[in-house]
Amino acid sequence: MIDKVVLLIIDGLDVVNFTLGNTPTMSGLHGRTAVGVAHTEILGAGTTITPIAHAMMGTGQNVIAHRPGKETRGRPYTYLGEPATTIGDVACQAGIPVAAVGKNEAAIVVGGLDRLDISRLEMDGIDANDDEAIAQETIATLEACGSRGLVVATYNGVDSAGHKNNVRGVIEAVEKTDRMVERILEATDPAKSLLIIASDHGTNPLTGRHNNVPTPLVLINERIVGRMDLGVVHNLEIAITIASAFGLSLPEAFGRDLFKLAIEGLRWDSGDYRDTLERQLKEFTAHQAKRPQLRD
């Protein structure tokens, strides 16, 4: 059973930026890593989609969210205007402390600012571009959670360097990310912790803009043997993966339990995320109450 889950979101880290740097830890040289390539195409990653990308990771649905700030608490909503159930909601119901570190968007993943037991965000004075600070705060927060905990941390260094057209800065931030992951791993029990590294979208340092290049998705835990290839995945699948790791259920979430796939290996019938989404969408539509039809 997993006691602690850390979701580390590296803003701007697409698969191109990922391969620019030397990343022995994230690339799995320690032999307990599963790596997938995540599509971001549903979102149209060229626009300001970061809040939606974070909301998707926490709900397993395409939902609406706003960046937490003076006027919004960062709660994700369905397109029908209902609050969407997040991994933070089910963790909280199960008595698992919920925390967010770094960029304010991290709070969206777990259901917004009102859901947080521990808040170490930009709005609390944390510098989301400082890898040392993010690593330190994440480790301290894990400690403060006690025996169980869900910590979402968002690091901004790669995105920030990308927007400044700073290729060398992107490489440095990617390598800093890897050391950050190494530090967090050293501070956690590899058997009882699941570390997930994901990205909301890529940021191209040549154009200085967000893009829709696929992003890496990395899982690290002792039960994963070697370097598993998860194939094509979707960030939607993060929500169900985290809920399942805690032994919780998130019925509305789309996708597959990636940790289970990483442990058991991909079988012929594991499918990729598209098969699963299509099947789940059919079931979902069949169970929906008849909704008002648009007239022409």
Binding site for Zn ion (CB under 5 A): 159
Residue 281 CB, nearest approach to Zn ion (Å): 30
Distance CA 191, CA 269 (A): 27
Specify the residue, 89 or 159, whose C-beta has the smaller distance to Zn ion: 159
Looking at the Cβ atoms of 4 and 210, the one nearer to Zn ion is 210
Name the DSSP class of 198: E
Closest C-alpha to 110, from 130, 92, 137: 92
Helix, strand, coil share (%) of the chain residues, nearest 5? 35, 20, 40
Cβ-based nearer residue to Zn ion, 14 or 159: 159
Q: What is the biggest distance separating any 2 CA atoms in the chain, rounded to whole angstroms?
A: 60
Q: Least distance in Å: CB of 50 to Zn ion?
A: 7
Nearer to Zn ion, 137 or 159 (CB): 159
Give the CB-side neighbour count of residue 281, counting CA atoms within 13 A.
8
- Residue 170 amino acid letter: V
CB 57 to Zn ion: min, Å? 16
Angle, helices 131-145 vs 167-186, to 10°: value is 20
Which residue, 17 or 33, is less far from Zn ion as judged by CB?
17
Residue 203 C-beta: closest distance to Zn ion, Å: 5
Shortest Cβ contact with Zn ion: which residue?
159
Give 60's DSSP letter. S
Rounded least distance, CB 26 to Zn ion, Å: 20
Choose between 88 and 214: whose C-beta lies nearer to Zn ion.
Answer: 214
Q: Which residues contact 194 (CB under 8 A, 6 or more apart)?
A: 2, 4, 5, 6, 219, 220, 221, 242, 245, 259
CB of 177 to Zn ion, least distance (A): 15
CB neighbours of residue 225 within 10 Å = 13
Quote the tokens at residue 51: 């809040």
